[in-house]
A and B are shown apart, each in its own frame.
Chain A
């Protein structure tokens, strides 16, 4: 019986070829946009997470009186004698700031790094909060960063996994960073706060330890703006709530692009939802017309003993078939569009050094399945009311009004 109903639904679709093809095309277009949009938005989101983080922080908060070298990207604080309390920004509870990463920096000589008289910047960071160091890793050991590990800036030589002696203490080269164009970042030797603190005695030598290596002290902070906050608002909030600090703002264009793109993605999502809703309405109107046209047939089915559920089943099967096929075609079209996208825009972006990270395959398959299921659900919702209303009517009324 199921096969007969399926065959009935298939043949009914074939009976009105042009209309069925248009319906399938409309659903394919909608589900293709939903599938492609979802994959691209997730991919752009992932790429933004890496790409924009690589653009650096929006602001740097350092002790008042510190000398700062303004660079295109705020990736690292500058070395100096002045320090801040590590919890000074957390205490101020600034809503205009998003992620905040503290850094400690100590400029040392005779450390064993590089040539004998070469100075080196030892930069401590918190791996779990950092967003300006680890995104630049171009190679690393396949495990989390741990105590005793160091990350070398782009111009430092060192083989991954090899031993690096700093003030005679052995450290493991955990990773290497890419070129950033920021001198301190490229020449730096990065490590966790704990690793840097463990070097305190050696760095101080016979004299006092650098002030920044005292517990609870940092050289400064790198911060991102909260969504919607402007650099001016954040600067005002920091200066009015935290005493003794200087705020260095990064390139406001980058903050604007970051926030603008996030808003654009939200806008695209809203448009996709609207398009989906309008497609659902269109399918509903179309199936309403189809049910009206088929009243005699439905009446006949009732007359020969079809139950209400079976009458509904015939129409729902037909709708699921049409919209499901539309969903599958939409996913295939979406894949083709993305291949085109990959060969053009993504290829260009990667050539100019902007990474584009596609969502992983399981998630892409989940999106494809979701788009097909969603298309079928639209079909079911579209046909459900008209078919339900028809199934409630007397068989004789249906036969008479459709004959």
Chain B
């Protein structure tokens, strides 16, 4: 389902070239929950960005569902991200000027999906996340946990094959963290969506079917 080969990412900083990811090979089977763990600065977020088509690798390839995503043109890659991938970031990633229902519907609207009932589906997803009575609320009127659940709903609006979550609970309290993880695991289990989660919390990774430990830009175990 997901296959990375010789992935490499280097940045140029004032102190010279920094190697964030150094030749990683990774395979994740369809429908699996894989956790990428590692300390801060280990390169796990850079790896996730390359896997998600958000950051062009310095070298190597990422193949998702048979498509070499970095061989696509800019617009085709954008369309691929839109239709096949879902993202949950480690920060409040909703557009502050849109209502929750607009935020959730936005990827479907951007992708010009033919589905006439985009807003109906957005409402259903928000209801599934326990936010059925927050459709018209603005992000600033919601708690951090509610915002994160809305971000999960947004990630699911186009029925992605791969859901990528980059430390989605790092800024949440313990109870909310558990609730958000339950939602993500439910999506993986009930919808069969492949889930790749980046975290530095070992406890969250324990339920994963595959754990990848990154250190110094390479796979440690």
Contacts and interface: CB of A to CB of B under 8 A. Distances in A.
Which range contains the number of A residues in contact with the other chain? 20 to 34
B54 A394 contact: yes
A66 interface: no
Interface string B77-97: 011011100010101010111
Interface in B40-88: 49, 52-56, 74-75, 78-79, 81-83, 87
Given A307-B79, A308-B74, A308-B78, A8 B110 contact: no
B120 interface: no
Interface string A275-300: 00000000000000000000001001
Contacts of A297: 95
A395 B54 contact: yes
A304 interface: yes
B8 to A, nearest CB: 15
Contact of A304 (B75, B96, B107): B107
B132 interface: no
Given A8-B95, A12-B97, A394-B55, A303 B75 contact: no
A308 B75 contact: yes
Interface residues of B, number: 30
A1 B112 contact: yes
Contact of A396 (B54, B75, B91, B158): B54
A15 B82 contact: no
A303 B165 CA distance: 12
Contacts of A310: 110
Minimum-distance CB pairs A-B, first 8: A305-B82, A11-B97, A396-B55, A396-B49, A396-B54, A395-B54, A304-B107, A307-B78
Interface of B: 49, 52-56, 74-75, 78-79, 81-83, 87, 89, 91, 93, 95-98, 102, 106-107, 109-112, 154, 158
14 contacts: A1-B112, A14-B97, A15-B96, A300-B95, A302-B78, A303-B81, A303-B87, A304-B106, A305-B107, A307-B78, A308-B74, A394-B49, A394-B54, A399-B54
